[in-house]
Amino acid sequence: MSSIRDTLLADAARLNATLDLGTTTARIEAQCLLQSALKVPRSYLLAHPEQELDAASNASYAAMLQRRLLGEPIAHILSEREFFGLNFKVTPATLIPRPETELLVELALQQLPQGRACRVLDLGTGSGAIALSIAYSLPGAEVVAVDASAAALQVARENAQRLGIANASFLLSDWFSALEAQCFDLIVSNPPYIAAGDVHLSQGDVRFEPITALASGTDGLDDIRRIAARAGDFLRQGAWLLLEHGYDQAQAVREILKENGYTEIFSAKDIAGIERVSAGKCQK
């Protein structure tokens, strides 16, 4: 059997060569898989580099490594992904939470009142990462999370239970269809925004994610148009709509918000310096 050190060195190189992850990401992924197989924290791997893997742990690790080498997302293999400091269960029924989406949560928290009650709507909640991060950060907020997928909502409910978050509720709804007459202090959404037929849909992790949570019409903006057209009916006057979108869609989304009567429209850049979120204030 190989030692922890030798295993990590060899398999980080394999991951990088096969998936072109970069040396740092490949090393981290190999560590994550080995941690899962051994059921230990990362600090254990660093403290016991000479330890040899037992047969059962080696078999478990080898199976997970093979899945990753075939391209399956590591979040699906481990069934979890960290987002905004919280660990979320993920399945193939949901999008995998991504670091750039944390900007959406940060902007929402900036616009919401601290220390007093407020109502927030998360459209297309998926795993619940956005809704539950807001709810966790603002215990006084009432967060309503909707999704058109019953399977995704079940994952979101499990995440709320696992994280002990009680100020979020979940509703099966195709965008606003099941909301009736409700009013919110902020609406946030990471909707589908990839153009149907985009080459990226057949590459990387997105191959394993639900297409309905990724693609939206010929230019990728159909769902953003639907949300912008209806959100004003559910926002109090002066409340914000925040939308995540693609790397090259900020100007188009700002125009959509303007056409629908929003004011104080702006776009914000993510950790890579890309305009990733656009927002407007409701003036109904």
Would the pLDDT of 27 be above 80?
Answer: yes
Summarised one tens digit per residue, pLDDT across range 42-79 is 999 999 999 999 999 999 999 999 999 999 999 999 99
One-character DSSP codes across 183-252: -EEEEEE----BPTT-GGGGSGGGGGS-GGGTB-SSSS-HHHHHHHHHHGGGEEEEEEEEEE--TT-HHH
- Give the model's pLDDT for residue 54: 92
d(CA 39, CA 34): 8
Summarised one tens digit per residue, pLDDT across range 87-114 is 999 999 999 999 999 999 999 999 998 7
E-strand spans in the chain? 80-83, 86-89, 118-123, 141-147, 168-172, 184-189, 235-244, 263-269, 275-281
Residue 46 CB contacts under 8 Å (≥ 6 apart), including other chains? none
- Give the model's pLDDT for residue 78: 96
Least confident among 32-41, 175-184, 190-199: 190-199
Which backbone phi and psi does 39 adopt, to 5 degrees?
Answer: 60, 50
Q: Where are the domains of the chain?
A: 4-71, 80-281
Provide mean pLDDT across the span 218-230. 95
pLDDT band at 212 (very low <50, low <70, confident <90, very high): confident
Which backbone phi and psi does 169 adopt, to 5 degrees?
Answer: -125, 160
Least confident among 68-77, 177-186, 193-202: 193-202
Please identify, in words, the CATH class of the domain defined by 80-281.
alpha beta
Would the pLDDT of 159 be above 80?
Answer: yes
Provide mean pLDDT across the span 125-149. 97
pLDDT band at 209 (very low <50, low <70, confident <90, very high): confident
CB 263 within 8 A of CB 235: no
Would the pLDDT of 1 be above 80?
Answer: no
What DSSP designation does 270 have? -
- Give the model's pLDDT for residue 153: 97
